[in-house]
Chain A
Amino acid sequence: MNKIDAKVEAIESLENITVVSFSSFGQALKMMSLELDKNIKIGSKVTLGVKASSISIAKNLSTELSISNQLQTTVISVNNGILLTSIKLRFEDFILESIITLESSKRLSLHEGDTVIALIKSSDLSILEVLK
C-alpha cells in the first residue's frame, strides 16, 4: 500500500457520505468516504493509502479530468515485466508505486527522471491511520 502523510483541511458530510480535503507539501488531495471516524478532525495528521494498481500516470497532461488527485511526481525507476510494469515515483518525501500495463508504459515511453502526474480517484484514497 502506498502511503502519503497529509493534514486534514476540510470535512464535508451529508448523511453517511463524507468528502475530506487534505494537504501534503502544498498538494491538495481529496477522499470520498462513508462516515468518518470520530477522532478525525480538521487539523488531524493522517497517513493516506492507495493501492499501486489504483495510481494512473499521465505525461503532458492537458485534458480536463474528473480525477481529484493529480500529483506532480518524478519517475525513479521503471520495472518492465512481461505484461505489467511497476513504476516507482517520488512525490516529495514519499515513494509511490504505480502498476500499469506494459503496453501503457511503452506508449508513454516512461524513463527515469521523467516528470509525470500521478492520478488517484478520490474513491481509491483511504485513511490508513491517524497520526499522533
Chain B
Amino acid sequence: MIELSLQKKLQGSHGAMHLDVNLEIKEHDFVALSGKSGSGKTTLLRIIAGLEEAQGEIIVSEKIWQNSKNYLPTQKREIGFVFQDYALFANMSVLQNLLFVSEDKKLASHLLELTELTELQNRLPHTLSGGQKQRVALCRSLMRRPKILLMDEPLSALDMEMRNKLQDDILKLHKEFGTTTIMVSHDPSEIYRLANRVVMLSHGKIMQDGTPKEVLLQTKGSQKFSLKGELLDILKADVIYIGIIAIGQNIVEVVMDEAEAKTFKIGQSVHVNTKAFAPSLSH
C-alpha cells in the first residue's frame, strides 16, 4: 500500500492554489493522474519522487519516505521517473544510459530485448526517433527495479502509432516488474488502455476517483454517447430543423425538432447525445 497525505501551497496558473491530496494506492495498481493543466498533477508526481518538498506523509509498503521528522532524498526512494522530454544523457549510448543507473548488465539486456532495442544499444540518443528515445528512457527508469514508476505525460510528444506501440511496452513492463505505476495523462484512450484507476485533480484537490469507465465515459442520463461541440448553424428543412455542429475537427449534422430549434442558439456550446444503440461503426 502507498499512502499519501500531502499538502502544499502553490502558485498555479490561476493564482494561489492549495494542493491537498489524500490517496491510498494498492501495490501493482496502474493509476492515471488526470485533470486540467495547472491542477497540480506534475507537482504531486515530483513530490512523490522527492524532487519537490511538501508537508505531509508518504508511506510506501509501511516504509516512511517522508513525514514530519524524516525525509528520504530522491536517490533513496525506490522510484523510476519517465519525463515527457526523455532526459537521456546525450554523450552516452543507449546501453550506457541504462548502465549509468545500475551496473546490472543482465537486466539492461533483458529490458532492451523486451522493448526491441537490442540492435540499437550502441547508438547515441540523437540518432534515435522520439519513440525509440522514450523506450530507452522507460528501460532506464526500471534499471533499479523501482517500487513505483512515475511517468509525466510520457507519450504526449509522440504520434499516434508510436503511442500505441509504447503503450504496449509500458503495460508489458508494468506487469513484468510488478511496479505500482502513476502516470500523468490527458489522453482518454491511453488512460483506458493502461490504467485500472483514474484520479482526477482540479485546483489541487481530488475531484473524481474511480475506474476509467466510471470517470471518463461521457454520458447524459442513460445516453452513453455524449460529445461536446459547438452549434454552428440551424437550418430549416421542410418541417424539421438541422443543427450543424463542430465536434473537435469534425462537422456533424443532427436533426432537431421545432422546440429544440427554438431553445438553442447558434454559437452555443452543446452536447450531442444519443443512445449507444444508434451509432454504427465503419472503416
What class of interface size applies to chain B in its complex with A?
Answer: 10 to 19
**A99 engages B240 (CB within 8 Å):** yes
Residue of A nearest to B273 (CB): A126
Closest chain-B Cβ to A132's Cβ sits at a distance in Å of 14
Chain A residues with CB under 8 Å of B257's CB are: 1-2, 51-52, 86, 97, 99
**B276 engages A34 (CB within 8 Å):** yes
What's the dominant secondary structure at chain A's contact region? strand
Residue of B nearest to A83 (CB): B238
Is B43 engaged at the interface, CB distance under 8 Å to the other chain? no
Residue of A nearest to B254 (CB): A51
**B222 engages A86 (CB within 8 Å):** no
Please report the total number of A residues contacting B with Cβ < 8 Å: 31
Is A72 engaged at the interface, CB distance under 8 Å to the other chain? no
Chain B residues with CB under 8 Å of A52's CB are: 240, 257
Closest chain-B Cβ to A89's Cβ sits at a distance in Å of 13
Chain B residues with CB under 8 Å of A82's CB are: 238
**B223 engages A126 (CB within 8 Å):** yes
Closest chain-B Cβ to A4's Cβ sits at a distance in Å of 13
The answer for the CA separation of A32 and B260 in the assembled complex, in Å, is 24
Is B172 engaged at the interface, CB distance under 8 Å to the other chain? no
CB contact under 8 A between A32 and B238, given known A40-B222, A127-B221: no
Task: For B222, give its contact among A33, A51, A84, A85 (CB under 8 Å).
Answer: A33
Closest chain-A Cβ to B225's Cβ sits at a distance in Å of 10
What string of 1s and 0s marks CB contacts (under 8 Å) between B16-60 and chain A?
Answer: 000000000000000000000000000000000000000000000
Closest chain-A Cβ to B271's Cβ sits at a distance in Å of 12
12 additional contacts (CB under 8 A) given A53-B255, A99-B257: A1-B259, A2-B257, A31-B222, A37-B221, A40-B222, A52-B240, A81-B238, A84-B240, A85-B239, A86-B239, A86-B257, A86-B258
Q: Which 10 A-B pairs have the closest CB atoms?
A: A81-B238, A127-B222, A81-B239, A86-B239, A123-B277, A127-B221, A52-B257, A128-B221, A84-B238, A126-B223
Please report B residues at the A interface, Cβ cutoff 8 Å.
Answer: 219-224, 238-240, 255, 257-260, 275-277
Please report A residues at the B interface, Cβ cutoff 8 Å.
Answer: 1-2, 31-34, 36-37, 40, 46, 49, 51-53, 79-86, 97, 99, 123-124, 126-130
